């Protein structure tokens, strides 16, 4: 039986051999291969055509400025020939404290394939990313009934009335709790 199990393991190991097409090519000329190890393996005629890179021409960068002095303040901006623009500046807030953060302010603009231009202005700080723009969807207005309920909750809380969500029987009904209510209704508890 042990011999049969050993033969089974050897057969599985031999049958599960890696194919070289997924390994980096070796070259006798260099110790680390020939430098083309990131290239996709060659395809045969019946396989799909290999990816040959982007089909569109590269987009040139028209302007690029980057200033970062390492103390938490920075500025950068760029513009590309397809009308993408971005600018951002950051400042260190509460330097040296546990609440030290960087506040960033900036904007970006781009043109969609349909020709529409989109612009976003934003602030990113301890309150998160806060974008603003004409095309950003906004929440619908809060219904009047909800506003009235929120106002009533705030007024009750200010008056010391707190609803913790638990059931509290009305003392005017004469029931001191569930057990008494069930006994009064003829139920055995």
Each residue's pLDDT tens digit, 140-188:
999 999 999 999 999 998 998 887 778 877 777 765 555 555 555 554 4
Q: Do 117 and 151 fall into the same domain?
A: no
Q: Is residue 17 part of a domain?
A: no
Each residue's pLDDT tens digit, 43-75:
555 555 666 667 778 889 999 999 998 888 899
Q: How many structural domains are present in the chain?
A: 2
Calculate ∠ Cα 8-12-17, nearest 5°.
155
Q: Is residue 77 part of a domain?
A: yes
pLDDT of residue 27: 47
Calculate ∠ Cα 155-161-165, nearest 5°.
110
As a whole number of angstroms, the distance between CA 102 and CA 154 comes to 35
Between 26 and 166, residue with greater pLDDT: 166
pLDDT band at 88 (very low <50, low <70, confident <90, very high): very high
pLDDT of residue 174: 64
- Candidates 49, 76, 55; CA nearest to 64 is 76
Q: Do 127 and 65 fall into the same domain?
A: yes
Q: Supply the range of the domain harboring residue 159.
A: 144-184
Q: What is the mean pLDDT of residues 95-105?
A: 84
Give the chain's mean pLDDT.
77
Q: Do 104 and 153 fall into the same domain?
A: no
Radius of gyration of the chain (CA): 35
What pTM, to 2 d.p., does this model score? 0.47
Cα-flanking dihedrals φ and ψ of residue 16, to 5°?
-105, 45
Q: Is residue 9 part of a domain?
A: no
> Hey, what are 142's tokens?
């809060």
Q: Is residue 12 part of a domain?
A: no
Percent of the chain clearing pLDDT 70 (strictly above): 63
Give CA 7 to chain center in angstroms.
50
Give CA 35 to chain center in angstroms.
35
Q: What DSSP designation does 116 have?
A: -
Give CA 21 to chain center in angstroms.
35
Phi/psi-derived region of residue 128, left when phi > 0, alpha when psi is between -120 and 50, beta in every other case: left
Q: Do 71 and 128 fall into the same domain?
A: yes
Cα-flanking dihedrals φ and ψ of residue 178, to 5°?
-65, -45
Percent of the chain clearing pLDDT 90 (strictly above): 34
As a whole number of angstroms, the distance between CA 161 and CA 102 comes to 42
Q: What is the mean pLDDT of residues 86-95?
A: 89
As a whole number of angstroms, the distance between CA 57 and CA 122 comes to 31
Q: Do 67 and 122 fall into the same domain?
A: yes
Q: Do 123 and 176 fall into the same domain?
A: no
Q: Are 173 and 185 in contact (CB under 8 A)?
A: no
- Candidates 49, 43, 78, 40; CA nearest to 61 is 78
Calculate ∠ Cα 74-80-84, nearest 5°.
80
Between 6 and 69, residue with greater pLDDT: 69
Q: Do 128 and 150 fall into the same domain?
A: no
Q: Is residue 163 part of a domain?
A: yes
């Amino acid at each position: 039986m042990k011999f049969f199990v050993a033969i089974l393991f050897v057969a599985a190991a031999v049958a599960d051999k890696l194919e070289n097409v997924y390994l980096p090519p070796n070259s006798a000329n260099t110790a680390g291969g020939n430098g083309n190890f990131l290239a996709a393996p060659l395809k045969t005629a019946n396989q799909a055509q290999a990816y040959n890179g982007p089909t569109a021409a590269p987009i040139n960068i028209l302007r690029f400025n980057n200033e970062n002095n390492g103390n938490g303040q920075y500025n950068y901006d760029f513009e590309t020939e397809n009308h993408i623009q971005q600018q951002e500046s950051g400042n260190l807030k509460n330097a040296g404290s546990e609440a030290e953060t960087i506040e960033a302010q900036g904007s970006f603009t781009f043109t969609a394939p349909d020709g529409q231009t989109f612009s976003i202005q934003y602030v990113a700080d301890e309150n998160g990313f806060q974008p603003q723009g004409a095309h950003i969807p906004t929440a619908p207005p809060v219904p009047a009934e909800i506003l009235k309920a929120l106002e009533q909750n705030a007024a009750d809380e200010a008056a010391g009335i707190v609803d913790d969500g638990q059931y509290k029987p009305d003392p005017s009904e004469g029931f001191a709790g569930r057990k008494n209510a069930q006994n009064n209704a003829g139920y055995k508890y």
